[in-house]
Every structure is written in C-alpha cells, then in structure tokens.
Amino acid sequence: MQYKDYQQLAKQKQLKIPVFRNVVVAFVIGGLICVFGQLLMTLFMRLGFAQEQAGNPTVAALILIAALLTGLGVWDVFGQFAGAGAGVPVTGFANSIVSSALEFKREGLILGIGGHMFSLAGPVIVYGAVTAFVVGLIHAVLR
C-alpha cells in the first residue's frame, strides 16, 4: 500500500467530529448552568443575603449539586451530551474531584480517596493560586 493510498483510506475512516454542533451545545449548556446559578443567587438574595454575600452559598450549592449528580452517575451522562459546557463552570471542578475520589475509593480513605481526590483538580488549584498571586503582585507594584 502506497503512502498516498494509506492517507486516503485513513481520511475515509476518520471520525467526523461535529465541531459546530459541539460548540453550540457547550455554549448553550454552559449558559444554562450559569442561568441556574443566577437563579440560585437571586433565591439567596430573597432569603436575606446581600448581593456580595449571596455568591458564596450559590457556588457551594452548585458544587454540592454537581457532586451529588456525579456520585449518582447522572453527571457522566449529562457530560457526554453537554461536552465542555458541563466542564467549564464550577460544576466541572466538583465533578473532577468527586469522580477521582470515586475511582480510587477501593484503595481506602487515606491513600485512595484522600491521596487521589485532587489528582485532576490539583493543578487547577495550584495554577489558579499562582496566577492570582502574580496578578496581585503586578497590581500592587503598578498601584
């Protein structure tokens, strides 16, 4: 088989990825998660929280909901449909922590769950903290 023939065969067998559809679905689902978060924040404000204070319980509620759905196996099905739209908001962060913990629970509480819970989310936390420090440092110097 010649290289040219191989390239043609490989191109025929290659999976067709619906990029436009995936982008639209991710945008819509991610937006709907954010709308749900805004509704939760509005609910907390109606319960007496100030606008500045309502964000914390809103994020906590979104994390709790995503963690529960991950534990029940619902988030995996949802994530297959939603794609990046389910992974970008804070709900994706919760999913990465809970799914890692569930994957290694058979190894015990300390070495399994505790040791691997942040295997996916750990780098995000580290780079987020370092970036926040650098931006804060730049802000302090330029002030």
Q: What is the pLDDT of residues 18-57, one digit of tens each?
A: 899 999 999 999 999 999 999 999 999 999 999 999 999 9
Is residue 39 situated within a structural domain?
yes
Structural domain containing residue 29: 3-103
Is residue 120 situated within a structural domain?
no
Mean pLDDT of 99-119: 82
pLDDT for 121 equals: 78
Q: How far apart are CA 94 and CA 108, in angstroms?
A: 20
Q: What percent of the chain has pLDDT over 70?
A: 100
Q: Is the pLDDT of residue 10 over 90?
A: no
Q: How far apart are CA 65 and CA 61, in angstroms?
A: 6
Is residue 88 situated within a structural domain?
yes
Write the pLDDT tens digit of every residue in 61-89: 999 999 999 999 999 899 899 988 888 77
**Which candidate, 113, 77, 69, places its Cα nearest to that of 95?**
69
pLDDT for 30 equals: 92
Is residue 110 situated within a structural domain?
no
pTM for the complete prediction? 0.74
Helix (H) or strand (E) segment spanning residue 102? helix 90-103
| DSSP per-residue string spanning 114-132 | IHHTTTTTHHHHHHHHHHH
Q: For the chain, what percentages of helix, strand and coil (3-state, to nearest 5) are there?
A: 85, 0, 15
Contact between 112 and 106 (Cβ < 8 Å): yes
φ/ψ region of 16 (left if φ > 0, alpha if ψ in -120 to 50, else beta) reads: beta
As for how many domains the chain has, the answer is 1
Is residue 129 situated within a structural domain?
no
Is residue 124 situated within a structural domain?
no
Q: How far apart are CA 93 and CA 70, in angstroms?
A: 11
Is residue 80 situated within a structural domain?
yes
